[in-house]
Chains A and B, each alone.
Chain A
Amino acid sequence: MIEVIRITYYIMNEFLQIRLLQVLPIGWNFGWSLLLIPLLPFAGFLLLGLFGRKYIKNSAGIIATALLLVSTVLSIYIAYVYFFEYGKVMGMYQKFVPIQFTWLEFSQGVSIDFGVLIDPISVMMLAIVTFISLMVHIYSLAYMKGDERFPTYYAFLGLFTFSMLGLVMASNIFQMYIFWELVGVSSFLLIGYYYNKPSAVAACKKAFIVTRFADLGFLLGILILSFHAGTLDFNTLVQRLTVDGSEELHSAYTSTFLGASALTWAAILIFIGGAGKSAMFPLHVWLPDAMEGPTPVSALIHAATMVVAGVYLVARMFPIFSMSEGAMHFVTYVGIFSALFAALIACTQTDIKRVLAYSTMSQIGFMMFALGVSGSNLKNGSLNYSGLGAGYTAAMFHLFTHAIFKALLFLGAGSVIHFIHSNELKDMGGLRKYLPITNITFLIACLAISGVPPFAGFFSKEEILLAAYQHKALIYWIALITSGLTAFYMFRLYFLIFWNKGTIVHGEHHGEGGFAMMLPLVLLAVGAAFAGFIPFGNFVTADGKPMEVVFHWQFSIAPVSIALAGIFTAMWLYRKQNNKPVAIANSLNVFYKAGYNKFYIDELYLFITKKILFNLVGRPAAWFDKNVVDGMVNLTGNTTQLISEKIKEFQSGKVQQYAIYFLAGVIGLAVVFIYIWK
């Protein structure tokens, strides 16, 4: 026993080498409670994953929810403590790294350190991720009730929450990459939760592979950065790469490849990683298919949290991005294009979850270009935030509000699907009578996302549009059109579900799924209605200093009117059953078809993978190996065998033959000695 204790102690000391780098003024307990936030869901994952199926099948949901509740309370407490008590030093929100230990050292200075980074965006994300996750946990208690793999479901949710929180807290870019991958795999597991449905299997594979492809970019970006900056630590990276005249920055600027500097390449590659997770064009193809997963999962992962990881990544690396004009433009244009592109597709889709998926993509596009238009400060050399960062705050704000109302939309959709047992809009209509609470909350969410004051989306979208307006007119106009489209497709969805034709409900109807499903809807609806009033600029800014957001009511006229126009168009077309929508769709024939078929991007991918990768690379490689490389081996073997067959005949045992060989040998040697050797 003593030996066991000794060895455990030894392992703790020798192997783990946890060292506290910095202790917050609150004391060291703070650091450990920070660690508990991700570790509790992880404990849930282990507990339910190992023992759930056999021993705690029925209480699995309660256990997971209780664990997460503690995490949520801790996160909100920490957010409170950070923002209102200890975070601000000398008028600036600080970056703290309360805990850090070296996990894997590659070379001097370059190591993966696991740590917790506390700054405004990570604290904000901690709160929102745990909160949404908690809502989904509660909601699933009713939604997934009676499911055969109930404990597994909660185990995966726990794994996801753990990974997402780890990603958010990461203090080291490689740590972020690690959790980035873990988030990807939990998304894979949850999309493929209904594993015996072939479409779900295809969807989860697609999601993983597409995001993996993007992660390759992330990885290469990390490699480039680590080479030039000689570190993987976020704070050190930013320090070294944003100070004018530093050796690292010089090397990152001056080494160029194809006309762009290493810094630009690194930023763009890292952005590609973010674009994969955040479903930016052209890496968005996995997101609509990911809707094969259970609906609460879509709400959590594919709407509120994981898909904004790309935005979070760009925000985390923002000082480095802003050192490169090229990278910022790249982010802007990819973001704005994705926003418009997805909004167009969303207008034509008939699957309720797919409409929401494209809407997510479009809204993330908003956040991305908001980051992109935050400006670049190349001209002045060292990093200087003055005049920058309006877009940064706006993007974070929109991320925050979007998480709330999009989770609400998905959970509302889940309530509808739960009731009607179908995802297709054609099976729905007139549901306001059966689902009153869902109806109201869904309406609030639709108003919020459309940007109608005073709901949450209005404020955040307003700030984004303002930032775009200050940057470039083109971006502003496209964004404006997109927000009109947003209002249109969201209300198209709303009217088609809750108004339009009356639906004949088959069989017995079980109402709205009870308290566990309604509570999250109501709480989120409250958030969607009022979250906009949070003075976000006071808390989350690019440089940590509070920013006064000046609000011009004149500026709001255009966005609000275009939103209302979208809403009324949708009302006119879809409130009552009529054939106007069909007529319009027919008159737009080609465009409508292209939109309905998602502009044929999927077909393009299929062509590239099936026709080119499989048939032109994989198959020849396999053939080459089997026939040429292995053929050489067999040829060697066969030739040896053939020769030995021949040689075998020399040793025939016939004396006459030996005599002839002997004689031939003698003659041969004689010839050699006489003529050649001399």
Chain B
Amino acid sequence: MNLILLILLPLLTAVLILLMRNSQQVKLTALIGSVAQLALAFALLLAFRNERVAGNEAQMLFELQYNWFPAWNISFHLGVDGISVAMILLTSFVVIAGVLVSWNVTKMTKEFFFLLILLSLGAYGFFISLDLFILFFFLEIAVIPKYLLIGIWGSGKKEYAANKLALMLMGGSALVLVGLLGVYFGSHQKSFDLITLANTHIPVEVQKICFPLLFVGFGVFSALFPFHTWVPDGHSSAPTAGSMFLAGISMKLGGYGCLRVATYIMPDGAKEYANIIIVLSTIAILYGAFATMMQKDLKYINAYSSVSHCGFVLLGIGMLTKTAMTGAVMQMVSHGLMTALFFAVIGMIYERTHTRQVNEMGGLLKVMPFITTILFIVGFCSLGLPGLSGFVAEMTVFMGSWQHPDPFHRIATIAACMSIVVTAVYILRAIGQTAMGPLKEGYVNLSDAKWNEKIAAIILIGGIIAIGVAPFWLNDLIGPATQIIMNKLAAVQPK
């Protein structure tokens, strides 16, 4: 398995899209490209499993390294472990679903799909990079298209939202860059290589400065409280596929960065700041949930609930136990699939009712059974119903968090657990008002999902159920990778 394919394939698709003449061709190219991505991601999963089953215990598989800028010791270093494979799978699922639900985009179709594919290129590159400079480079590639996607194809106060999102994410990446440079020089290695950095002990003083920079920088992407306010505005103004990519992929870049970069190479820093992370993420979980309760716009509901759900990712990382950390990665995958599906279904409803206000809808189950069934499934996933992915991830985080016997961690865990009730309240409120109740006049003739919407939904639901019903494969995939991060943490002298 050559990892460079993961970069070349989207690149090729993007170039081909630019060469196409009409929108039909563009859409077909994008679809074929995303199907190929999905196939590639599965091939990677299988190849990865085969290697592991065959007894290859190396930390990173399929490594590649080309010298890129020797003067600064920057190399094009690629490789994957279980966490990256999980994230790559997630990305490929979201991309194909996003392409499918955008079938009706008529405005500047070519540019739209080009940007979508470009964004996926950035995400894949990010997840396979083992060199922090390259990683940063791909992170930026994943940010810029979002600005355009919202600014051009968005709705509502889209300029404001696009600016806000781009500036806050840029601010986050600026912090990341400073942190990376700090590590580069502070480690005395003059290296951006993740593995090299992880194998050296970075001086504690450097970690104390660089860890918060990197963690907060990546945290902005992952809706770290109080830097989450781009989430509601950005999502609500973005086009459907934009929201899906934003929540399904971009927010995961942040979580991945927090774990893989910040926590892994700077365990002292992680221990130093773990309590602050826990406090902030617990606040995000509960406060996001309570704020969701008051929202009336479906997109705002999902956006705020994303803040709450992404809190679990950061909480899992902050708990610094293997179980919780595995749970955090599971939550990333689960939330990515779930929230992409949620935004997709919101888009489907909006296309038909032309409103996103829950109190203007009602009884939609009667006219569009398929779409509302998706809404039910995704709602149940969000509130953590067993059999769907959300449950597995949240429970793993809870179990991992409870391993700390001290009152501080206990209180944080209990507070986080409480969110399962609040989540149920807002999800059922949203579903009850949209899908159930008497059918409002004017909605009698609405049509149900079309083929592209059905396929998109089925793919994402497939992912959700595959994790929810058989979580052991994901656990087996992620577990060894988080164990390595934990070993690194355990090797550090306790304070």
C-alpha gap A632/B432 in the complex (Å): 35
Which of B53, B386, B400, B432 contacts A205, CB < 8 Å? B432
Q: Does B270 sit at the interface, judged by CB under 8 A?
A: no
Q: Does A5 sit at the interface, judged by CB under 8 A?
A: no
Report whether B385 and A196 are in contact in the complex, using a CB–CB cutoff of 8 Å. Answer: no
Chain B, Cβ-Cβ closest to A102: B472
A-chain residues with CB within 8 Å of residue B291 when the two chains form the complex = 618, 621-622, 625
The distance from the CB of B323 to the nearest CB of chain A, in whole angstroms, is 5
Report whether A103 and B471 are in contact in the complex, using a CB–CB cutoff of 8 Å. Answer: yes
Which of B230, B396, B399 contacts A226, CB < 8 Å? B399
State the interface size on chain B (CB cutoff 8 A): 62
A-chain residues with CB within 8 Å of residue B383 when the two chains form the complex = 212
Report whether B428 and A208 are in contact in the complex, using a CB–CB cutoff of 8 Å. Answer: yes
The distance from the CB of B135 to the nearest CB of chain A, in whole angstroms, is 26
Report whether B164 and A633 are in contact in the complex, using a CB–CB cutoff of 8 Å. Answer: yes
The distance from the CB of A178 to the nearest CB of chain B, in whole angstroms, is 4
Report whether A106 and B470 are in contact in the complex, using a CB–CB cutoff of 8 Å. Answer: no
Report whether B424 and A208 are in contact in the complex, using a CB–CB cutoff of 8 Å. Answer: yes
B residues 359-397 touching A (CB-CB < 8 Å) = 363, 365-366, 369, 380, 383-387, 391-392, 395-396
C-alpha gap A174/B437 in the complex (Å): 34
Count how many pairs of residues, one from A and one from B, have CB atoms less than 8 Å apart in the complex: 138
Report whether A196 and B437 are in contact in the complex, using a CB–CB cutoff of 8 Å. Answer: yes
With A216-B420, A622-B291: A201-B229 Cβ-Cβ less than 8 Å: no
Chain B, Cβ-Cβ closest to A212: B424
The distance from the CB of B157 to the nearest CB of chain A, in whole angstroms, is 12
Q: Does B436 sit at the interface, judged by CB under 8 A?
A: yes
With A226-B399, A622-B291, A633-B168: A219-B421 Cβ-Cβ less than 8 Å: no
C-alpha gap A205/B424 in the complex (Å): 9
B-chain residues with CB within 8 Å of residue A224 when the two chains form the complex = 402
With A53-B369, A223-B413, A227-B402: A630-B323 Cβ-Cβ less than 8 Å: no
C-alpha gap A630/B287 in the complex (Å): 14
The distance from the CB of A152 to the nearest CB of chain B, in whole angstroms, is 9
With A178-B386, A209-B428, A630-B229: A195-B472 Cβ-Cβ less than 8 Å: no
Q: Does A619 sit at the interface, judged by CB under 8 A?
A: yes
Interface string of B402-421 (1 = CB under 8 A from A): 11010000000110011011
A-chain residues with CB within 8 Å of residue B421 when the two chains form the complex = 209, 212-213, 216
Q: Does A107 sit at the interface, judged by CB under 8 A?
A: yes
Report whether B391 and A625 are in contact in the complex, using a CB–CB cutoff of 8 Å. Answer: no
C-alpha gap A610/B70 in the complex (Å): 64
A-chain residues with CB within 8 Å of residue B439 when the two chains form the complex = 196
Q: Does A629 sit at the interface, judged by CB under 8 A?
A: yes
State the interface size on chain A (CB cutoff 8 A): 54
B-chain residues with CB within 8 Å of residue A102 when the two chains form the complex = 472
Report whether A15 and B472 are in contact in the complex, using a CB–CB cutoff of 8 Å. Answer: yes
Which of A195, A227, A637 contacts B405, CB < 8 Å? A227
Q: Does B484 sit at the interface, judged by CB under 8 A?
A: no
Q: Does A523 sit at the interface, judged by CB under 8 A?
A: no
The distance from the CB of B79 to the nearest CB of chain A, in whole angstroms, is 23
Q: Does B425 sit at the interface, judged by CB under 8 A?
A: yes
C-alpha gap A229/B369 in the complex (Å): 46
Report whether A185 and B436 are in contact in the complex, using a CB–CB cutoff of 8 Å. Answer: no
Chain B, Cβ-Cβ closest to A629: B226
C-alpha gap A220/B432 in the complex (Å): 28
Report whether A614 and B293 are in contact in the complex, using a CB–CB cutoff of 8 Å. Answer: yes
Report whether B293 and A618 are in contact in the complex, using a CB–CB cutoff of 8 Å. Answer: yes
Contact residues of A: prevailing secondary structure:
helix
B-chain residues with CB within 8 Å of residue A614 when the two chains form the complex = 293-294
Q: Does A317 sit at the interface, judged by CB under 8 A?
A: no
B-chain residues with CB within 8 Å of residue A181 when the two chains form the complex = 384-386, 391
Chain B, Cβ-Cβ closest to A53: B369
B-chain residues with CB within 8 Å of residue A288 when the two chains form the complex = none
B-chain residues with CB within 8 Å of residue A457 when the two chains form the complex = none
Interface string of A183-213 (1 = CB under 8 A from B): 0010000001001101011101100110011
Q: Does B438 sit at the interface, judged by CB under 8 A?
A: yes
B-chain residues with CB within 8 Å of residue A104 when the two chains form the complex = 392, 395-396, 471-472, 475
Chain B, Cβ-Cβ closest to A110: B399
Chain A, Cβ-Cβ closest to B228: A629
Interface string of A611-623 (1 = CB under 8 A from B): 0011001110110
Q: Does B15 sit at the interface, judged by CB under 8 A?
A: no
Q: Does B290 sit at the interface, judged by CB under 8 A?
A: yes
A residues 360-387 touching B (CB-CB < 8 Å) = none
The distance from the CB of B413 to the nearest CB of chain A, in whole angstroms, is 7
Report whether B229 and A223 are in contact in the complex, using a CB–CB cutoff of 8 Å. Answer: no
B-chain residues with CB within 8 Å of residue A182 when the two chains form the complex = 385-387
C-alpha gap A619/B400 in the complex (Å): 32
The distance from the CB of A196 to the nearest CB of chain B, in whole angstroms, is 5
A-chain residues with CB within 8 Å of residue B435 when the two chains form the complex = 195
Q: Does B322 sit at the interface, judged by CB under 8 A?
A: yes
Interface string of A100-117 (1 = CB under 8 A from B): 001111110010000000
A-chain residues with CB within 8 Å of residue B402 when the two chains form the complex = 223-224, 226-227
- Tell me which of B49, B293, B399, B438 has the highest count of chain A C-beta atoms within 10 A of its own C-beta: B399
C-alpha gap A2/B399 in the complex (Å): 41
A residues 455-512 touching B (CB-CB < 8 Å) = none
Chain B, Cβ-Cβ closest to A637: B167
B-chain residues with CB within 8 Å of residue A630 when the two chains form the complex = 229, 233
Q: Does A657 sit at the interface, judged by CB under 8 A?
A: no
The distance from the CB of A294 to the nearest CB of chain B, in whole angstroms, is 15
- Tell me which of B366, B402, B424 has the highest count of chain A C-beta atoms within 10 A of its own C-beta: B424
A residues 303-348 touching B (CB-CB < 8 Å) = none
C-alpha gap A202/B428 in the complex (Å): 10
A-chain residues with CB within 8 Å of residue B228 when the two chains form the complex = 629
Q: Does B295 sit at the interface, judged by CB under 8 A?
A: yes
Q: Does A147 sit at the interface, judged by CB under 8 A?
A: no
Report whether B322 and A107 are in contact in the complex, using a CB–CB cutoff of 8 Å. Answer: yes
Q: Does A597 sit at the interface, judged by CB under 8 A?
A: no
Report whether A107 and B391 are in contact in the complex, using a CB–CB cutoff of 8 Å. Answer: no
Report whether A621 and B226 are in contact in the complex, using a CB–CB cutoff of 8 Å. Answer: no
Report whether B229 and A625 are in contact in the complex, using a CB–CB cutoff of 8 Å. Answer: yes
B-chain residues with CB within 8 Å of residue A179 when the two chains form the complex = 386
Which of B233, B294, B322, B470 contacts A15, CB < 8 Å? B470
The distance from the CB of A101 to the nearest CB of chain B, in whole angstroms, is 9
Report whether B436 and A220 are in contact in the complex, using a CB–CB cutoff of 8 Å. Answer: no
Q: Does B185 sit at the interface, judged by CB under 8 A?
A: no
B-chain residues with CB within 8 Å of residue A645 when the two chains form the complex = none
Q: Does A649 sit at the interface, judged by CB under 8 A?
A: no
A-chain residues with CB within 8 Å of residue B366 when the two chains form the complex = 196
Q: Does A22 sit at the interface, judged by CB under 8 A?
A: no
Chain A, Cβ-Cβ closest to B229: A630
With A185-B385, A205-B428: A216-B226 Cβ-Cβ less than 8 Å: no
Report whether B287 and A621 are in contact in the complex, using a CB–CB cutoff of 8 Å. Answer: yes
A residues 611-657 touching B (CB-CB < 8 Å) = 613-614, 617-619, 621-622, 625, 629-630, 632-633, 637
Interface string of B428-466 (1 = CB under 8 A from A): 110010011111000000000000000000000000000
Q: Does A33 sit at the interface, judged by CB under 8 A?
A: no
A residues 144-193 touching B (CB-CB < 8 Å) = 174, 177-179, 181-182, 185, 192
Chain A, Cβ-Cβ closest to B469: A103
Chain B, Cβ-Cβ closest to A15: B473
The distance from the CB of A558 to the nearest CB of chain B, in whole angstroms, is 44
Q: Does B264 sit at the interface, judged by CB under 8 A?
A: no
The distance from the CB of B254 to the nearest CB of chain A, in whole angstroms, is 17
A-chain residues with CB within 8 Å of residue B168 when the two chains form the complex = 633
Chain A residues within CB distance 8 Å of chain B? 14-17, 53, 102-107, 110, 174, 177-179, 181-182, 185, 192, 195-196, 198, 200-202, 204-205, 208-209, 212-213, 215-216, 219-220, 223-224, 226-227, 255, 613-614, 617-619, 621-622, 625, 629-630, 632-633, 637
The list of the 7 closest CB pairs from A to B, nearest first, reads A178-B386, A622-B294, A621-B290, A630-B229, A195-B436, A618-B293, A223-B402
A-B contact pairs, 20 of them (CB 8 A): A14-B53, A102-B472, A103-B470, A104-B395, A105-B475, A107-B403, A182-B387, A198-B437, A202-B432, A205-B428, A209-B421, A216-B418, A613-B293, A614-B294, A617-B290, A618-B294, A625-B287, A629-B229, A630-B229, A637-B163
